[in-house]
Structure formats: C-alpha cells, structure tokens
Chain A
Amino acid sequence: MKADTIIHAQGLNLTFETNDGPVHALKDVNLEINKGDFVSFIGPSGCGKTTFLRCIAGLEIPTGGEISVNGMTPDEARMARAYGYVFQAAGLYPWRTIGGNIKLPLEIMGFSKAEQAERVARVLDLVDLAGFEKKFPWQLSGGMQQRASIARALAFDADILLMDEPFGALDEIVRDHLNEQLLHLWARTEKTIGFVTHSIPEAVYLSTKIVVMSPRPGRITDVIDSPLPKERPLDIRDTPEFIEIAHRVRDGLRAGHVDD
C-alpha cells in the first residue's frame, strides 16, 4: 500500500442472503484508489459496482476481506465525514430551498450559521448555480437539481466524492454538459472521485482509471489506467486514443458477459 492510497480493498466479498439462496454481490475484489484519482466503475446491472461504492461508504458491510478508506474502516471514515455521496436521484428535500438543502449536512455536522452561508455561496458558485439559493427544487430542471445535489456533497469539504450513476436519469445533452462541468470541478477541487456508470463514453471521458466489472458473481475483470491528458475537451471523444480505450472497455464487458 503506497502512501497516497486513499481506498484499499483486498479480497473483498459480499454475499446477500435472499429467499432464493445466497447472491454473490462481490467476489474477491482487489483495488487501490490513489489520491486525486477519478475512478469509474462500469458494468452491467448486477455486477456489484453500486454495492462496491456502498461498501466504501460504509452503507453495506462486506462479509469477507478488507477495505480501508483513508486508513480507517469505512464506518470510521463515515463518522469522520470523509466522503460526500451523490445518489442516482438528486433527492433534494422539497420543503427546503436549494440553499437550505445544501445547508442540511452543514447543520447536521454543526457548522456555525455564518460558515454555513459562506459555504453555500461557495459550492453554489462551484456548480454554476449562484443566484438559485432561494429557489425551491421544483423550480429547477433535473440537471440543475443534480448539480445542487453535487453541491450538497461538496459543502463539507470531504476529500472523497462518491457518485452512484448521478447522471443516469438525464438526457444526453445535459449529461455531456454535466460531464464537462464535473471535470472542471475535479480539476479545481483535486478530490478523489468514485463514479458508477453504465455508459462507456462517460467512463472513458471522465476517468483516470476505469474499473470494468461483471456479474454473477460481481467481480473486477479489468482495470484500465487512462493515458488521456487531464485537460479533456468534449471532442477528445473522437480521437483514436479515446476510441481505443473504449474498445478495451467494451472487450472487458464482453469477456465478463455470460450468456445464460
């Protein structure tokens, strides 16, 4: 384990007991994520990509193996508020304004009123929602709501940002735009990002490291370190390098696919 390793999983197993017998959600997962990495988890449904993210967050307890976050157990890391989590849906509270929603974690963590206001203004600016503080969620589009939920996850300055298919429910144009913004945000904040997706272009465009997973049992079939530069305009997706990585991801997905 190197000094700048943030997340370290070794021989991780997770079995759900169901009425139809045990389900191997994760089997023998080994992975290291370094500080500042943008790691995408890609694979078909049931491959355990979301489950692995939830294990990092301490929302699921592995049944075997080891996982550490910032050198702590995931539960300790959760207590230390080491990460911000962005869910598939924005999940903003309809009775709170956008500003009020971003204040939610700050209130829970006991920040002072003045600091809350200062942080809300800063993260709203970061996701290009300055001026929307007093609006209610229903007054915003789906893409804006999801940006607000990212702002909420950024508000308390956790080093790690975990995102579970955050743009899955949005249309492709909005998604492209948000992907671009997310890269800028990542460059400005230097956070470590874990990003679950089922879109190959999205994974290749965003990531420094792509983790390809396959189902039954959920496992890692390939880990690709992206040679793409940090600076990525949208048209990088037409370059031969990009297409080559996308091919490798697709091959990895196909290899893991069992026809049953």
Chain B
Amino acid sequence: MKSLLPVLTVVGAILLFWVVSVVPMNIHLTADQAQRQDIVVTPDTPVARQEYSGIGLALRNTHLFGMAYTLERPRLPSPHQVAVELWNTIALQNITSRRSLVYHGWVTLSATLLGFAIGTGLGILLAVGIVYNKAMDMSVMPWAIASQTIPILALAPMIIVMLGAIGIQGLFPKAVISAYLSFFPVVVGMVKGLRSPDGMQLDLLRTYYASPAQGFWKLRLPASVPYLFASLKIGISASLVGAIVAELPTGARAGFGARMLVGDQYGQPLVTWAALFAAAITAAALVGLFSMIERWTLRRMGMHAA
C-alpha cells in the first residue's frame, strides 16, 4: 500500500481546491438569497454586485461563507452536499425506484456491458483479419482511425434515430455507441499483441513445420493476452462514456446520462453532480475489476502484469 499516500495527497489537494472554490462560485447566488432574508450585503443591489468577481464579492461579505456551502441550488455544490445526495439516492432508495441511482446505474451499465462485449468481439475479429490478411491490413486500419475522429456527440443521435426508424430501441442502440467507442482500443492493442512474437519465435515454429492455425493458437494468441488486457481497461471506460453519451441527446428517461440532463434542465445541480460521481465511481470499479482479472490471469499464465 505504498501507493496510498500519493493517491490520498492528490485527492486531498483536489478536495481542498473544490472546497475553496465553492465560496467565490456561489457568492452571487448566496448574496441574492441572503438579501431576501434581510441580511446586510455589500453592495446592496444585484446589478452592483455583478461588477465584482466572485473572489472580490466574497472578500466583502465574509459573513456569507457558511451560507455559500448550503445553497439548495448552488452553482458549485460543496463536497458534503454531493456526498449526501449520493447517499440519499443510492442507499436510502428502493433500487427499483426511479429516484435510485442504482436503478439508473444498472440501465447504463447493462448497455455498457453489452456494447463492450460487442466492441471487444468485433475488435478481436478485426485484429485477426488485419494480421492475417494483407488486404484488410491496408484497408481496415485507416477506417478504424477515421471512425474515432468523428465526434461521438454528433454521431450518437443519428445512430439512435436511424436504428429507431427500423424499430430498434432501448438497450441496443446505446450498446452500439458503446461498441463504437470500445472496439478501437481493442483493435490497436490486439494487432500489436498478435504481431508481438519476434522473428526467432516464428522461425522456431517453422522448424516444427507448424500450421498457421497452430501458430495462432500456440504463439500469437497467448502472446497477445497482456496487450488485450491493456486494451480492455481502456475499452470498458470508453464503453461507459459511450452509453452515457447515447443517453444525453435522445431524451432517455433512465440512466446516468438521463439524470445528468434532468439535473441540468430542471436546475438541480446536485442531481447532475451525483450522477457524475456515480458514473466516475462505476468506471473506476470496472477498470479495477479488469485490473484484478488481468493480474489473476497473467499470474496463472506465469507472466507478470505490465
């Protein structure tokens, strides 16, 4: 656990920056609200206050600091407000309730996992094709790279609308967008992995008069496993981003993306922030899970994790 101290130091620094930022970010809203409660504020009109920066206004109204951390609809919520919101929507709600983040999380996660499975399968197939077929080697890679240069935010609504037009709705269109984002790292990693055996290792198989299929199963595929895991860890988080992005422009009623949008549209920043954190925690958990599987697999294979 030598890595714990540096990690905690960074987390602490981010938290500190966050806490310090809350007052100047919220001070204008706080001042408006304080005035409605007959608390003295300088300067005393909203128009005059607009002349001041957040920091400037905060320094003139130090007595409002406490209020700035507890606004109901803050511009920047304080960490404890987000924590409370997370607790309320994760632990205190029935998980089948529409107010439960577990429910919304599962909606997003199921699309993520389906899309990840499709993307990984497609990525491995494409990589095998690229390594074994010269025509595919020359043609597929440029398209795969081009596919990742198109902003997914522009593409996602088109995919959803077009799939909707042919009657495909719900989980699958979101999974398609997840797959679209996750196949690419798998292709790149697996092509590198399948090509990682050097000339000597390939010559060795030639001296045994091994068939190409034996070369694949006994040499290229096992040699690519460490590369595959590196790709899977990137792919799974890309899948989650894809599923969330797929929920944003389409008016989805459930999922992390839907919660973020709802919070934004109805002026409930805590809802947005809680969904954001829940998504980040989910992504971290997924990557952590794959790191564990990686370590376990490579140890069983007699190799060390990269």
Knowing A87-B200, A95-B302, say if A78 contacts B206 (CB, 8 Å): yes
Q: State whether the Cβ of A96 lies closer than 8 Å to any Cβ in chain B.
A: yes
B residues 207-258 near A (Cβ < 8 Å) are 207-210, 214, 218-219, 222-223, 225
Across-interface contacts of A84 in B (CB, < 8 A): 207
| CB contact between A95 and one of B207, B209, B214, B303 (< 8 Å): that residue | B303
| CB contact between A94 and one of B205, B210, B302 (< 8 Å): that residue | B302
Contact A89–B200 (Cβ < 8 Å): yes
Q: Which of A29-37, A104-112, A223-231, A236-244 lies at the binding interface? A: A104-112
Knowing A59-B203, A108-B214, say if A93 contacts B222 (CB, 8 Å): yes
Contact A95–B201 (Cβ < 8 Å): no
Q: State whether the Cβ of A85 lies closer than 8 Å to any Cβ in chain B.
A: yes
Q: State whether the Cβ of A16 lies closer than 8 Å to any Cβ in chain B.
A: no
Bound CA span A93–B217, Å: 13
Bound CA span A105–B208, Å: 6
Across-interface contacts of A59 in B (CB, < 8 A): 203, 206-207
Across-interface contacts of B214 in A (CB, < 8 A): 108
Q: State whether the Cβ of A91 lies closer than 8 Å to any Cβ in chain B.
A: yes
Across-interface contacts of B209 in A (CB, < 8 A): 78-79, 81, 108
Across-interface contacts of A132 in B (CB, < 8 A): none
Bound CA span A94–B304, Å: 10
**Which secondary structure dominates chain B's binding surface?**
helix
Bound CA span A97–B222, Å: 13
Bound CA span A67–B107, Å: 69
Contact A94–B218 (Cβ < 8 Å): no
Contact B207–A78 (Cβ < 8 Å): yes
Across-interface contacts of A96 in B (CB, < 8 A): 302
Across-interface contacts of A88 in B (CB, < 8 A): 200
Bound CA span A142–B218, Å: 23
Interface size on A, residues (CB 8 A): 26
**Which secondary structure dominates chain A's binding surface?**
loop
CB nearest neighbor in B for A106: B208
Bound CA span A104–B303, Å: 18
Across-interface contacts of B303 in A (CB, < 8 A): 94-95
Contact B302–A97 (Cβ < 8 Å): yes
| CB contact between A108 and one of B201, B203, B218 (< 8 Å): that residue | B218
Contact A95–B225 (Cβ < 8 Å): yes
Across-interface contacts of A107 in B (CB, < 8 A): 218
CB B157 to nearest CB in A, in angstroms, measures: 45
Contact B302–A108 (Cβ < 8 Å): no
Q: State whether the Cβ of A167 lies closer than 8 Å to any Cβ in chain B.
A: no
Across-interface contacts of A58 in B (CB, < 8 A): 206
Across-interface contacts of A85 in B (CB, < 8 A): 203-204, 207
Bound CA span A105–B301, Å: 19
Bound CA span A217–B12, Å: 69
B residues 61-80 near A (Cβ < 8 Å) are none
Contact A108–B210 (Cβ < 8 Å): yes
| CB contact between A91 and one of B204, B225, B302, B304 (< 8 Å): that residue | B204
Contact with B along A10-54 (1 / 0, CB 8 A): 000000000000000000000000000000000000000000000
CB nearest neighbor in B for A75: B209
Q: State whether the Cβ of A150 lies closer than 8 Å to any Cβ in chain B.
A: no
Contact A87–B204 (Cβ < 8 Å): yes
Knowing A94-B302, A94-B303, say if A109 contacts B204 (CB, 8 Å): no
Seen from chain B, the residues whose Cβ lies within 8 Å of a Cβ on chain A are 200-201, 203-210, 214, 218-219, 222-223, 225, 301-304
A79-B209, A95-B223 are known; give 19 further A-B pairs, CB within 8 A.
A59-B203, A78-B206, A81-B208, A81-B209, A84-B207, A85-B204, A85-B207, A87-B204, A88-B200, A89-B200, A91-B204, A93-B201, A93-B222, A94-B303, A95-B222, A97-B302, A108-B210, A108-B214, A109-B208
- CB-defined A-B contacts under 8 Å, sample of 14: A57-B207, A59-B207, A79-B209, A81-B209, A91-B201, A93-B219, A93-B222, A95-B223, A95-B303, A105-B208, A107-B218, A108-B208, A137-B302, A138-B304
Q: Which 5 A-B pairs have the closest CB atoms?
A: A136-B302, A95-B301, A85-B207, A108-B210, A108-B208
